Amino acid sequence: MQAFLALSRAIDRLNAFVGKYCIWLIFAATFISAANAIVRKVFDTSSNAFLEVQWYLFAWSFLIAAGYTLLHREHVRIDVINSRLSKKVQVWIDILGFAFFLTPLCLTILWLTTPVVMQMIQSGEMSGNPGGLIRWPVWMAIPVGVTLLLLQGISELIKRIAFLTGDGPDPTGKLGDKSAEEELAEALRAEAERKQLEALAAQAGSHKA
């Protein structure tokens, strides 16, 4: 089991690295979109290549971040019933989901899309739009992203089996990193406490006067 847990940690590090830096794809898409708008307004010219490269970057960002999202357990879940179940039952539901739904789905997508991507690379298929880009780079995001998601699913499966055998911690809790919502809630709570302290201090000062 320790060897499988080492594999799980390696997969987690891979998806953590990818998720950390894929934000630059969003930045690049935003920069290109702004530059395209400025050029179009100022010089009254543009190109479909600018539009398509934005689609490419956006497709890459959300596809390769799917594994990172699963690592941080941020995919949409229906917890109305699941949260009422025991921890062991929750873990078993996850195991069945990863083994019989996520893994077969990822393998099916890879089986269907990989030949298409290889064919596009060989043919050099281009966009049908005037000034459009070559197609295979955006299609390549599908097998790459799905592979990362599949690997993360394997990692999560290993962690849950390790939990049931007593070889690992609870895999269903939040990771150390706080979500944006949690950080906002903490900031609002700290601000409320600060204002309350200031009000108490002002009240104490008025009593002394």
* 31-53 per-position pLDDT tens digit: 988 888 888 888 877 778 888 88
Residue-averaged pLDDT of the chain: 84
pLDDT in tens, 2-33: 888 898 999 999 999 999 899 899 889 889 88
Q: At what angle do helices 23-43 and 48-64 cross, to 10 degrees?
A: 170
Cβ proximity of 22 and 64 under 8 Å: yes
Measured CA to CA, the distance from residue 65 to residue 146 in angstroms comes to: 10
Which run of H or of E encompasses 32?
helix 23-43
HSE, side-chain direction, 13 A CA sphere, residue 135: 14
Tell me the whole-structure pTM to 2 decimals: 0.76
Residue type, 117: V
How many angstroms separate the CA atoms of 163 and 88, rounded? 9
The residue with greater pLDDT, 83 or 25, is 25
* pLDDT band per the 50, 70, 90 thresholds, residue 113: very high
